[in-house]
Amino acid sequence: MNSTDGPGAGRYAPSPTGELHLGNLRTAVLAWLFARSSGRAFLLRIEDLDTGRVRPGLAERQVADLAALGIGFDGVPVVQSERTAAHEAALDALAGRTYECFCTRREIADAASAPHDEPLGYRRYPGTCRDLTEGERQTRRATRAPALRLRASAGAETTTTIHDLLHGEVTGVVDDIVLRRNDGVAAYNLAVVVDDLASGIDQVVRGDDLLASAVNQAHLTTLLGGRPPTYAHVPLAVNTAGRRLAKRDGAVTLADLAAVGVEPPQVLTRIAASLDLAGPGEIVTLEDLLPRFDPARLPREPWVIG
């Protein structure tokens, strides 16, 4: 399960479940800048495992929106749903480190709580199914198909430290994360690690709402024989109420903005200005931004879109 040899790579990995909004596009711009400024390749992965929410044709529209801002990719896009065999091989490699879990999301939410000393405020799995007997598992299988969880530790809690270019050294307790959902599909944490390893991804740039998951993914990467990537968890775009930006907040997608006369070059200018990489109204290209880009000078607060 080692990552591929050769130069490292960054990536952008949208899910085709909704139109890309300004916050998504800003993260994509940052991912491109981080990769290109460090001499990395830049890859695209379509994360389409949430089949109940995937919308036909949306992945193509997302790629077109990215291209309209000047964001291109190296190589052939990876489609996550086509990598089932690799995900299953990873589960085989983890044999002996997993257990069946029959809990519903509601049961976990009711039972789990974040310890006061957990730096990431992460609600960890309470271990309800960790030590079931075979007889208890058989009884539960009769009414509910199990998910498969990672047994993160044999006794005492296991901690992992990641390096984040914006947040520094971040340490957290590793969770018993779900590796395979109870519908038989690879869970996000497994798929993202396996696919990053296969593509030689050594730099992950994404929203800071995913910072807590990085500790678990770094631990899983190590278990699968790889080296955890360097992370950059960037601030989200939020509305004036401080909530994560969504389509209901108005003209926040390229299509919506075009309908009110705001074209992609102006959108890129708006994104660049929010990163202190351009002045208001200054029309720029991604190539213009590259020599101006310095991760240490990036804003650390959410981007408020009114």
User: Which residues make up each annotated binding site?
Assistant: 11-15, 47, 101, 103, 125, 129, 188, 206, 247
Binding residues for ATP: 247
DSSP reduced 3-state for 192? helix
Task: Tell me how crowded residue 166 is: count the other CB atoms within 10 A of its CB.
Answer: 17
Q: How far is CA 20 from CA 23, 26, 49, 58, 225, in A?
A: 8, 10, 17, 9, 34
Binding residues for Zn(2+): 101, 103, 125, 129
Distance CA 114, CA 121 (A): 6
Q: How far is CA 259 from CA 55, 255, 263, in A?
A: 22, 6, 9
Binding residues for L-glutamate: 11-15, 47, 188, 206
Tally: H helices and E strands in the chain = 10, 12
Distance CA 69, CA 12 (A): 14
DSSP reduced 3-state for 240? coil
Distance CA 73, CA 11 (A): 9
| Total residues found in the chain within this entry | 306
- Phi/psi at 124 (nearest 5 deg)? -85, 155
Structure tokens at 131: 């030590």
The DSSP-derived string for 155-172 is SSPPEEEEEETTTEEEEE
Sign of CA dihedral 235, 24, 287, 200: positive
Tokens 């730096």 locate to 119
For residue 161, which of 250, 264, 231 has the smallest C-alpha distance? 231
Asked if residues 98 and 151 have their Cβ atoms less than 8 Å apart, the reply is: yes
For residue 219, which of 187, 172, 181, 165 has the smallest C-alpha distance? 172
